[in-house]
Amino acid sequence: MKKLYSNKWVIFTLVLPGVLVFLFAILAPICLSVYYGFTDYSGMGEARFVGLDNYVKLFHDPAFGRSLLNSLLLAIGFICIQHPLAMIVAAVLDKLQGKAEGVFRCIYFIPNVISVAVIAYLWKFIYNPDFGLLNNVLKVFGFEGQVNWLSQENAIWSVLVVLIWHGFGWGMLIYYTGIKNIDPVLYEAASIDGAGWWTTFSRITLPLMKPVIMINVTMAIISALKQMETVYLLTNGGPANSTQFAANYLYQQAFKAFKYGYGNAIGVVFIIICVAVTVLLNTVFRDKQEA
């Protein structure tokens, strides 16, 4: 077998599909995007070269600024709300043992299994001011009047709740697997030494979970940047761009406003931001690891 893998033809054919996919499905579209980003192409007909016009416009576009701010809010929401909760739930699940462990693990993971379209419509109904679940629950507690959960001021928070809730299962599952990989002998030794639950969690669980936390945080930030489908189906960026996210805005500009060139410029800036954030995170985490 070893000899087989040293055969250059075998190596070539094993690597080729991946290289081809990368070349034609990732690199070529990015190059095309860079090209179209310098044109006023409408998606049909001729494309005219307009230099940096699209990029200049983009940096003065309040809707794009808003969409980046919303991505940042979502990333903060993921890191400060979703992940601590997911980690605590994972730690508690680990302690549950027995049947309950499996049952609760399933329950917490259910939102991830349901299709995004169903989730979006489900929450649309929950948030509806007239017949929605939330307002009816409030009514039971004696609250008069209708809360407009998707108003211009509230919409972004309502959307964040849905996104944080929807992604919770994944985060929890990864933390849960991380915790399961920790050697139980360490916990036994700690308990013999008389360590309480907090000491065990902060001195054993947390430090040994570092690599998992790093992966989860990186994935959370990238998914915050890439957010599109839930927002598209839930609010489509509205009212008045208050829940706009970069990917959704790109879609609207390229395919609804027929500004394909501008849409590609958004795409290019978007790629640069994603790559920069990933590099930054890697550097930060590498430094920490070394430290």
Partner 1 sequence: MKKKLIAALLVAAMSVSVLAGCGDSKKESTKTGSDNKTSASADAKGDKADDKEDDKSGDDTASGEDVTLKLFSNLPDRKNGQGLVEQMIIDEYMEANPNVKIEVEALDEEAYKTKFKAYAMDGMPDVVSIWGQPSFLDEVLDAGVLAELNEGDYADYKFISGSLEGFKKDGKLYGLPRNTDIMLIYYNQKMFEDNSWEVPSTYEDLMTLCGTIKDAGITPIAMDGGDGWPMACFLTDLLVKVAGTEHSNIISNAISTGDFSAPELKTATQLLVDSAAAGMFQTGYDSQDYGTTQNLFTNGQAAMYCMGSWDSSMALNEDISEEIRTNIRAFTMPVVKDGKGGANDIAAWNGGGYAVSANSAVKDEAIKFLNFMYQPDKLSKYGWENGVGMSAQDQSEYMTGNETELQKQIIEILNKATSVSGTPINDCGPSAFKTAIESEIQGVSNGSTSVDDFLTTIGAACK
* Contact residues: partner 1, CB under 8 A: 3-4, 7, 9-10, 12-14, 16-17, 20, 42-45, 63, 124, 127-130, 146, 148-153, 155, 235-242, 252-253, 255-259
Cα separation of 254 and 153, whole Å? 27
Task: Give me the least distance between CB of 150 and partner 1, in Å please.
Answer: 4
| Range 63-78 burial, b when 16+ CB lie within 10 A, else e | bbebbbebbeebbebb
Task: Give me the least distance between CB of 281 and partner 1, in Å please.
Answer: 33
Task: Give me the least distance between CB of 111 and partner 1, in Å please.
Answer: 22
Task: Give me the least distance between CB of 9 and partner 1, in Å please.
Answer: 5
* Closest to partner 1 by CB, 151 or 191: 151
* Closest to partner 1 by CB, 57 or 195: 57
| Range 208-239 burial, b when 16+ CB lie within 10 A, else e | ebeebbbebbbebbebbbebeebbbbbbebee
Omega prior to 17 cis, within 30 of 0? no
Cα separation of 128 and 166, whole Å? 19
Task: Give me the least distance between CB of 14 and partner 1, in Å please.
Answer: 7
Lookup: tokens for 121: 């419509």
Q: Count other Cβ atoms within 10 Å, centred on residue 132.
A: 19
* Closest to partner 1 by CB, 19 or 189: 19
Task: Give me the least distance between CB of 129 and partner 1, in Å please.
Answer: 4
* Closest to partner 1 by CB, 47 or 274: 47
| Range 116-131 burial, b when 16+ CB lie within 10 A, else e | eeebbeebbebbbeee
* Closest to partner 1 by CB, 227 or 235: 235
Q: Using alpha carbons only, what angle is made at residue 70 by residues 69 and 75, rounded to the nearest 5 degrees?
A: 95
Lookup: tokens for 105: 């693990």
* Closest to partner 1 by CB, 139 or 210: 139
Rounded to the nearest 10 degrees, the angle between the axes of helix 210-226 and helix 260-290 is 170
Task: Give me the least distance between CB of 251 and partner 1, in Å please.
Answer: 8
* Closest to partner 1 by CB, 7 or 282: 7
CA 144 to chain centre: 36
Lookup: tokens for 4: 């087989």
In 78-154, where does DSSP find H-type helix? 83-96, 98-113, 116-127, 133-140
* Closest to partner 1 by CB, 130 or 290: 130
Task: Give me the least distance between CB of 58 and partner 1, in Å please.
Answer: 14
